[in-house]
Structure 1
Amino acid sequence: MNAAKRIRHFIESGEDAEQVEVLKALARALEYGDAFDVRTLYEIDMRYFEAALELMRDWRFDHHIQSRSRLIEALQGEETPRSAA
């Protein structure tokens, strides 16, 4: 399973909300070009940390576009629209 799909499953499972929030913040930062404090990665359990590293690797090489799109849809479904600057 690729990283975007795994993170989407973490989100949908509802468990470890604090740790999943770090992954969601990372995915948003990658998608929208926002800043991300990498120090937060050191505070999460290894399985979430590994998923974060894999997501960054996939994002960099533009792999798994469809799963990444579904992850973004999941993120957008739980946030208010971003204000226009």
Structure 2
Amino acid sequence: MTLSKEQIQTLLKVVANSSDDSLDCDRCFGYVAQFVETKLAGMGLCESMKLVQSHLENCPCCKDEFEALLAAISEVDEDK
């Protein structure tokens, strides 16, 4: 299997941004709803939310889930 230049760059970014206290996808999903509410409220992020943000920046699957939830909640807020 040959990786494209883009795939290699993505892998390098993930490795460079990983740390011992990084979240895995299961743990990240547990925080995504809270992360969305915090972002929409314009509140600062506590340390655990920074870990979620870091995971979302490096995991396309979780990022897609976050963006879908953010868009859905934003639409509901706009309808009020």
Normalised by the length of structure 1, the TM-score is 0.37
**Structure with the higher helix share, 1 or 2:** 2
Q: Which has the higher contact order (CA 8 A, sep 6+)?
A: 1
The structure whose Rg is larger is 2
Normalised by the length of structure 2, the TM-score is 0.39
